[in-house]
Structure formats: C-alpha cells, structure tokens
C-alpha cells in the first residue's frame, strides 16, 4: 500500500510537470469546443440562421409574412440580387431567397457543404407555405413533431461535446500506456523496479489511478465550459458519467497495452496510438454523424471502440437515450478489456526489467 501511495504521488507529480500531456488533456478538448462552438454552434437549425431576402415581384408581403412565422430566423432585405449574392458568398448571411414574382430562387454558398442541406430544407419549408399563401390557402395537413428521449432537441454542438469528452478520455488512456509507460521502458527507467520490492501491478494501479484523477478533472472542466459558455443543454446522470469515464479510461489503457505489445519498438507505440486515435476521431461520428457517411465508412465506424464510448457518453450526459442493457454492455466490454489486458501490462513491465 505504501508503494502504491508513493507511486501514485510520483505519477501525479510527473503529470503535473509534463506540460505537453497537460496541454493535450486539459487544453485541447476546450480548444475544440471553443473553435467548433464558435464556428458551428447552432448549425442546422433555423434558430439564429441569417436569411437574405430580395423581393422584386408581386406577393412580396405574403412571402414576408411566411418568413416572419419561422421562429429565430434573422432576415436582412436587399434591393438587388447581386448584393444578396455577394453577402451570401462573404458569409454575411447564411442563405438567400429571391422572389421576382414568378420564380423563387434559393441562394446558397456552395462551399458550406456541411450546412447547406439544413438551409435548403428551411428554404423548401418557406417555399411550400408561400406557394399555398399565394393561392390564399393554408395547409390542410400539419405535422406536430414530438422529440422523444434525451434532453430534448439536441443541436450539432450538443451532440459533439460528449464525443469530444469521449475522445479526450480515449487519448488519455491510450497514451498513458502507449506513450508514458513505453517511454519509461525505452528510457530503461523500468529496469530500476527490479531492485525494489515494488510489484509491477502497483505501478499499473498507480498509472490507472492518476489517469482517472486527471481524466475526471479534465472532462468536468470541458463539460463545465460547454454548459456555461455555449449554453449546451446537458443533463448529466452522474452515476452513469462516472461509470462511463472510468470504464472508458481503463478500456483505453487496455487498448494502449495491445498497441505496446504489437509494436517492436516502444517508441513506435506512441506514433501508432497517435495515428489510430486520429483515424478513430474522424470515423467514429464525433464531428460528422455516422449516418451521413458512405456504407463502408459506417462499417469501419462500427468497428471502432470510440463510437461506443461516445454513444455511452451521450447517454450519460442526457443527449440521447439508450437501452440500459446496451449502456452497461458497452461499459462492461471496456472494463473487461482493461481487466484482461492490464495484468498483461504488468508482465510487460517485468519484461522490460529483464531487457
């Protein structure tokens, strides 16, 4: 127990002195949220979207009335089409509508590939209502949408934040082994353990405990910033959150062990971990929904642990619902991965002593 305490204190001290690790663990998730929150917060919803409007034909009042009914849409009127097109291209308005008395034209910036489907849908809805209004009709059939589960209508950023948290947990866990421990092995620091009464399992336990402390702190700060600064609506179930973070950290350390065992050189472990985590980040539905990916990418995504970690984190933060059995199965699998592989990591440390 004394050995464990001493090792834990040493690990925490090492972490506190390691500016690079601290940057990646604490600063990067925040930076991602700041950048994506500022760039794409509210993406895909009418709320806060900026519409440019040119009316040059009869029936303009009806069109204005229809647009006024769309809640949260900010409208700027232009006198000419070129002025509107220039502002759409410059990003001063998100999309435009031009009515010449016969034709209703939607104007979008072709470069905004990730947002245009939402703007076009908004424009279609306005056009549909306007078409009826022109003939003095109201729609006979209306649709009432009821959102089930989760914390209500989760926008893009609300879905991304738990994914960023899951990714930061994955990185911390992976690099704790395929980075920190493999670096100790490369520098032959582990060889010194052979002459001490400390058991390798104590070192593994100290690394796990120190990472858990850091990961809980960093993820809490990330969630706090997302909620306070960007008003992201999260309804955190703290028990599920603690279980998810702990299982994902331990599971990621298990994956780090696999990487350390697979590569021949300890120094290559961090490189491979870096490559794998980057590929997983892009295909696991953290930034781009898995549903809009082509079939083969969806299959790759289904094979990456990060997708399940992110799903569990979205459930724990109240963004989506999930069957409790699935939630516990994901966490049991991650925990199982760690429980099976961390003893192997202990033996890996001993092997290092004998090199």
Partner 1 sequence: MRSILSVARAQLATALRERITLFWFLAFPLFLLTLLALIFSNVGTEVDEMTFDVTLVNLDRPVAGTADFSAGIVEVFRRLGEPRGEGQDPLFALHVPEQGADVPAYVESELAALRVGNRAAVVLIPEGFSASVARAALAPEENATSKLVVHTSAGRTSSDLVVSILDQVFVSVDREILTKLGLFDSSRALVLEERGVGSQGGGFRYVDFLLPGIVIMGFFTAGLFSVPGTILFGREQRILRAYWVTPLNVPRYFAGFALGHLGLCVLQFACVVLLGRFAFGARVDLLRPLPLLYLILAVVTFLALGFLVAALARTANAGMAIANIANMPMMFLGGLFFPIGELPVALRAVMLANPVTYLADGLRASTGTGAGVLPTAATIAVPVAWIALCIVVAVFRLRWDVER
Q: How far apart are CA 348 and CA 153, in angstroms?
A: 47
Q: Indicate the residue among 214 and 283 with the shorter CB distance to partner 1.
A: 283
* Least Cβ distance, residue 60 to partner 1 (angstroms): 14
* Least Cβ distance, residue 352 to partner 1 (angstroms): 21
Taking CB under 8 A as the binding criterion, the range among 70-78, 136-144, 220-228, 239-247 that sits at the site for partner 1 is 136-144
The token pair at 158 is 């609300």
Considering only residues 26-55, where is the footprint of partner 1 by CB under 8 A?
27-28, 31-32, 34-36, 38-39, 44
* Least Cβ distance, residue 23 to partner 1 (angstroms): 6
228 lies in the site for partner 1, by CB under 8 A? no
For residue 52, the surrounding DSSP H or E stretch is: strand 50-55
Q: Indicate the residue among 1 and 103 with the shorter CB distance to partner 1.
A: 103
For residue 96, the surrounding DSSP H or E stretch is: strand 95-99
DSSP, res 187: T
262 lies in the site for partner 1, by CB under 8 A? no
Residue 266's nearest CA partner among 206, 191, 179 is: 179
Exposure on the CB side of residue 190, measured as CA atoms within 13 A:
25
Considering only residues 323-342, where is the footprint of partner 1 by CB under 8 A?
323, 326
Measured CA angle at 147 (ends 304, 283), to 5 deg: 15
Kindly tell me which residue out of 9, 68, 89, 333 binds partner 1, with binding defined by CB under 8 A.
89
Taking CB under 8 A as the binding criterion, the range among 2-10, 88-96, 239-247, 254-262 that sits at the site for partner 1 is 88-96
Q: Indicate the residue among 31 and 217 with the shorter CB distance to partner 1.
A: 31
Please answer whether residues 246 and 171 qualify as being in contact, where contact means their C-beta atoms are separated by less than 8 angstroms. Answer: no
Task: Report residue 52: phi and psi, to 5°.
Answer: -100, 135
Considering only residues 155-214, where is the footprint of partner 1 by CB under 8 A?
158-159
Q: Indicate the residue among 119 and 193 with the shorter CB distance to partner 1.
A: 119
Q: Indicate the residue among 260 and 319 with the shorter CB distance to partner 1.
A: 319
* Residue found under tokens 């006979």: 140
Q: Indicate the residue among 1 and 113 with the shorter CB distance to partner 1.
A: 113
Q: Indicate the residue among 6 and 68 with the shorter CB distance to partner 1.
A: 68
Q: How far apart are CA 11 and CA 143, in angstroms?
A: 58
Number of residues that bind partner 1 (CB under 8 A): 91
Task: Give just the sign of the alpha carbon dihedral 126, 127, 128, 132.
Answer: positive
Show contacts of 14-22: CB within 8 Å, 24+ apart: 14/180, 15/210, 15/214, 21/175, 21/180
Considering only residues 107-126, where is the footprint of partner 1 by CB under 8 A?
107-114, 116-117, 120-121, 124-125
DSSP, res 177: I
* Least Cβ distance, residue 6 to partner 1 (angstroms): 26
237 lies in the site for partner 1, by CB under 8 A? no
């Amino acid at each position: 127990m004394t050995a464990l305490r001493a090792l834990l204190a040493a690990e925490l001290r090492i972490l506190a002195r390691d500016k690079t690790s601290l940057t990646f663990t604490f600063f990067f998730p925040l930076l991602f949220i700041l950048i994506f929150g500022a760039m794409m917060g509210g993406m895909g919803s009418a709320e806060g979207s900026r519409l440019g409007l040119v009316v040059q034909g009869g029936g303009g009042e009806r069109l204005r009335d229809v647009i006024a009914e769309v809640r949260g849409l900010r409208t700027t009127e232009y006198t000419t089409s070129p002025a509107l097109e220039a502002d759409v291209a410059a990003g001063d308005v998100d999309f435009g509508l031009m009515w010449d008395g016969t034709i209703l034209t939607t104007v979008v910036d072709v470069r905004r590939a990730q947002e245009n489907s939402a703007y076009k849908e908004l424009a279609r809805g306005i056009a549909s209502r306007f078409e009826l209004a022109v003939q003095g009709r109201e729609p006979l059939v209306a649709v009432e949408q009821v959102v089930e589960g989760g914390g209500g209508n989760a926008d893009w950023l609300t879905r991304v934040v738990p994914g960023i948290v899951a990714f930061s947990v994955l990185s911390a866990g992976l690099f704790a082994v395929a980075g920190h421990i493999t670096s100790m092995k490369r520098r032959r620091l582990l060889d010194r353990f052979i002459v001490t009464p400390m058991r390798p399992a104590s070192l593994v336990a100290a690394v796990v405990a120190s990472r858990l402390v850091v990961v809980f702190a960093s993820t809490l700060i990330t969630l706090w910033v997302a909620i306070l600064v960007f008003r992201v609506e999260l309804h955190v179930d703290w028990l599920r959150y603690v279980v998810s973070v702990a299982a994902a950290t331990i599971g990621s350390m298990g994956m780090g062990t696999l990487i350390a065992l697979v590569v021949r050189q300890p120094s290559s472990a961090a490189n491979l971990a870096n490559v794998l985590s980057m590929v997983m980040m892009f295909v696991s539905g953290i930034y781009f929904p898995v549903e809009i990916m082509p079939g083969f990418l969806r299959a790759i995504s289904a094979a990456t642990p990060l997708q399940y970690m992110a799903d569990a984190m979205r459930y724990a933060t109240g963004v989506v619902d999930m069957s409790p059995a699935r939630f516990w199965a994901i966490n049991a699998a991650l925990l199982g991965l760690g429980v099976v592989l961390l003893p192997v990591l202990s033996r890996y440390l001993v092997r290092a002593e004998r090199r």
